[in-house]
Structure 1
């Protein structure tokens, strides 16, 4: 019974985490939010704009199609003496309903393709970070650029008393970790993802970044945050009973502050023997 309770808690925690928040979390979930989280990268803004464009096109098509349909039904109803036309085919109509949808699809594909291509362009990166998924935490390794050699785990610190409802839930419920991923603002950050066990997904909505972490494979993406702040994400692939308990916290700081952080962390790593051990709740 205890194990069943744990499974049920894990399955529901991710879905209801924002429901307990008294206030929206800056850089994270919004209370009653129905739109994209505030974008802080060009890719995230492009993804939002593409979504708006496609939705508006679909809305226009729906209004046109249903408008013509309801008008025809009302205007040409039998009670007004309308008589159905008899015809076999119309080459003009067939050409129109082939060309018009094709043009609409092309209008959507061109900007979408540009965004997808941009997502894969990891050249000229300021630094490279390897992100490794574990059941149930994240490992970060700064493998190139300023901060090279820094390595640590990022583990959930939300206490079990909050998870089981024995303590009030803050607005960062299930989104607090012991070690934030720290990056500089206005710099291109290359992300390499992999996993040590099962499939995970590194997802930060405000960055417009979601990349699966697959065992035995290295995948890459990038982001360039243009606003200082703390941004939140979560594992985007169901990875077991602790799936809801592996949040992502990225702290974007100024370049001078990043340099100070690098110097501080390198000193800690030297003192601790090379790795920052998790200080949060164990999985």
Structure 2
């Protein structure tokens, strides 16, 4: 009886893991981060990310169809032209029409794939008129954020990963909820942006090449010293969205997460007002004021 109970418990755990893998948006409210056993993409939170998902799924369907066709062709050729059915080998060396066909058809397939691909690149890199600009600087091994203000003003801070001790202390003191402090992703200072607003993201680096990546936003762009790259996003729902540096940049490359908290315009205004009081210029960067948005 105990064996049967254990079997069904284990089977239920496996089924739950499989369900979470294929339906993470339903299985967990933490849609801005990867989930255990997840096999598909993180739920889209922006227009760009939704287009990436569509393009990914569409190309996979195309790949599947081509694979099935090639497999069927191989099986047919192996059966139709086997030694038993053709004891005398054919002397045919080429077929002009067939060679034209298998040159033209792949070219047409690539063209069909290229059209939405170029549209996606244009969507990612052609920044529309923005409501907010955030400058992000990659450093070994953390991120710095700057919010350009009026002339003579600057607002900036560093965002470092919370180690296990800091994370435990923050959770135990109720400074942050356990669900909002995932291991290796929680940071001391989150970047805060309002929901439904176009955010221009300017990305650079201070030392070596990094890569600024937030999967749920469809954002992935190089952070290169001496160069200012830019992209954008418009989050369509509130929440916390995590990312990481995705270009090997040194010993602690795996420990420089990205955290964006998307809030309502009212909460963003309150956070910004509190931040301006505490940080009059960029030289005061590094304080912990993201809690004002919670």
TM-score between both structures, scaled by the size of structure 2: 0.78
Tell me the CA shift for residue 82 of structure 1.
5.9
Structure 1 segment 36-51 matched on structure 2, within 5 A:
36-51=41-56
Could you give the per-residue CA deviations for residues 5-60 of structure 1, whole angstroms, max 9, x where no partner exists?
xxxxxxxxxxxxxxxxxx88431011101111111111111112212222221111
Structure 1 stretches of 5 or more lacking a match?
A: 1-22, 164-168
Distance 2:90 2:64 in 1: 30
2:231 corresponds to 1:221: yes
User: Are the structure 2 counterparts of residues 158 and 125 from structure 1 closer, same or farther at C-alpha, using a change threshold of 3 Å?
Assistant: same
Tell me the CA shift for residue 160 of structure 1.
5.4
Q: Classify the secondary structure of the residue corresponding to 1:210.
A: strand
Q: Classify the secondary structure of the residue corresponding to 1:125.
A: coil
Please identify, of 24-33 and 80-89, the stretch whose mean Cα deviation from structure 2 is larger: 80-89
Distance 1:25 1:150 in 2: 29
Q: Classify the secondary structure of the residue corresponding to 2:213.
A: strand
Aligned residue pairs, count: 250
Structure 2 counterpart of 1:277: 286
Distance 2:146 2:229 in 1: 15
Tell me which of the two structures has the higher relative contact order, counting C-alpha pairs closer than 8 angstroms and 6 or more residues apart: 1
Match of 1:114 among 102, 110, 119: 119
Structure 1 segment 156-195 matched on structure 2, within 5 A:
156-159=161-164, 172-195=182-205
Structure 2 stretches of 5 or more lacking a match?
A: 1-27, 169-177, 289-294
Structure 1 counterpart of 2:5: none
TM-score between both structures, scaled by the size of structure 1: 0.81
Distance 1:128 1:243 in 2: 26
Structure 1 segment 1-283 matched on structure 2, within 5 A:
25-80=30-85, 83-143=88-148, 149-159=154-164, 172-270=182-280, 275-278=284-287
